[in-house]
Amino acid sequence: MEKINLGVKAALFPSPVVMCGTYNEDHSVDVMTIAWAGMAASNLVEINILENHKTTDNIKKRKAFTLAVATKELMVPCDYLGVVSGAKVADKFEKSGLTAVKSEFVDAPVINELPLTMECELVSMDKGPEELRIVGKIKNVVAHKAILGEDGKVDVSRIHAIVWDNFKAGYYEVGEKVGQSFRESKKLDSFLAEHKSGLSQLAGWADEKKEETPSAACGTACGAADAEPEKKEETPSAACGTVCGAADK
Ligand SMILES: Cc1cc2nc3c(=O)[nH]c(=O)nc-3n(C[C@H](O)[C@H](O)[C@H](O)COP(=O)(O)O)c2cc1C
């Protein structure tokens, strides 16, 4: 498979799509869409937002915010809340059609229609190179009963959460469960025995076929390394200065 260098890109995929709820000075609700977010510890979340958002002001003043997982069914209002600012449209949240109640745990609103919300208290707000890096401590997570499985735990497949990609700014639904972490690895021996001919084709890249002709860069048959994909180099090989892996032969 030919590899292309894409340069510096935010290539971590997928990004979660979360709706950050805060209160304005007059206690009306503001919500903004955030994709640059993640877990920082089991009870800490991190969001990266620009300083000029109304949300930023609100978090500074109220020291609290909520983060609700956006869903496929409510993708339209969730997207709307990411393109209109509460600084310009005072009743932005009302216009979205969503509704909210005050969190029982922090000074921020919980959106009624979204099924999973983290209620967070501000821990820190640091200036990053382009944005503010805000860390919040989770004081509670509130969930609709409908997304809990029989074991009482959140069943992610019931949420219809959407995630985002930074390449094309698309939304994608989180799909079916395909495995169980820490358990799949136990199948490694039988998995490798089943796929003795190598994993390149199994990975499904249609044109993963080995090149039989010498590459222009190094004059050797670069595809030879594909026979043993686990040895394939990611960095330029000493032999030819390309990522073809010819040095492995
Ligand atoms: C999918 C999506 C993801 C976004 N992610 C972020 C983000 O991570 N950080 C940020 O500063 N703005 C992000 N935005 C833009 C803000 O949501 C947008 O500027 C919003 O209007 C700010 O609202 P506010 O001024 O009422 O706080 C995103 C927008 C969309 C549609």
Instruction: Please tell me the predicted confidence (pLDDT) of residue 118.
Output: 98
Give the DSSP letter of residue 209: P
Mutate-to-test residue for ligand 1 from 22, 31, 34, 95, highest number of ligand atoms within 8 A of CB: 34
Spell out the per-residue pLDDT of the chain, length 249, in tens: 789 999 999 999 999 999 999 999 999 999 999 999 999 999 999 999 999 999 999 999 999 999 999 999 999 999 999 999 999 999 999 999 999 999 999 999 999 999 999 999 999 999 988 899 999 999 999 999 999 999 999 999 999 999 999 999 999 999 899 999 999 999 999 999 999 888 887 877 755 455 544 444 433 333 333 333 333 333 333 333 332 233 332
* Nearest atom in ligand 1 to 84's CA: 21
Residues 6+ apart with CB under 8 A from 21: 29, 30, 31, 65, 66, 67, 68, 100, 108, 109, 110, 111, 117
Domain 15-173, classified CATH 2.30.110.10, yes or no: yes
Residues with CB under 6 A from ligand 1: 17, 30, 32-36, 48-50, 53-55, 79, 82-87, 92, 164
Residue 107 and residue 147: Cα distance in Å, rounded? 25
| Residue 2 confidence (pLDDT) | 87
Its pTM stands at: 0.83
Per-residue model confidence (pLDDT) at position 209: 52
Q: How far apart are CA 165 and CA 157, in angstroms?
A: 20
HEC assignment per residue over 124-143: EEEECCCCEEEEEEEEEEEE
Exposure string for 56-66, b = 16+ CB within 10 A, e = fewer:
bbbbeebbbbb
Residue 172 Cα to ligand 1 middle (Å): 17
> Which of the 8 DSSP states describes residue 178?
-
CA dihedral 66, 70, 71, 77 (to 10 degrees): 100
Task: Name the closest-CA residue to atom 7, ligand 1.
Answer: 34
Instruction: Give the count of beta carbons closer than 10 Å to the beta carbon of residue 81.
Output: 26
Of the candidates 6, 20, 46, the residue with the CA atom closest to the CA atom of residue 166: 6
Contact 164, 15 (CB under 8 A): yes
* Residue 208 neighbours by CB under 8 Å, 6+ apart: 1, 200, 201, 226
- C-alpha to C-alpha distances, 177 to 157, 181, 216, nearest whole angstrom: 7, 11, 43
Q: Per-residue pLDDT tens for 15-60?
A: 999 999 999 999 999 999 999 999 999 999 999 999 999 999 999 9
Q: How far is the CA of 154 from the centre of ligand 1 (A)?
A: 27
Ligand 1 centroid distance, CA of 176 (Å): 28
Give the residue from 2, 168, 143, 177 showing the smallest Cα distance to 71: 143
Q: Where are the domains of the chain?
A: 15-173, 197-248
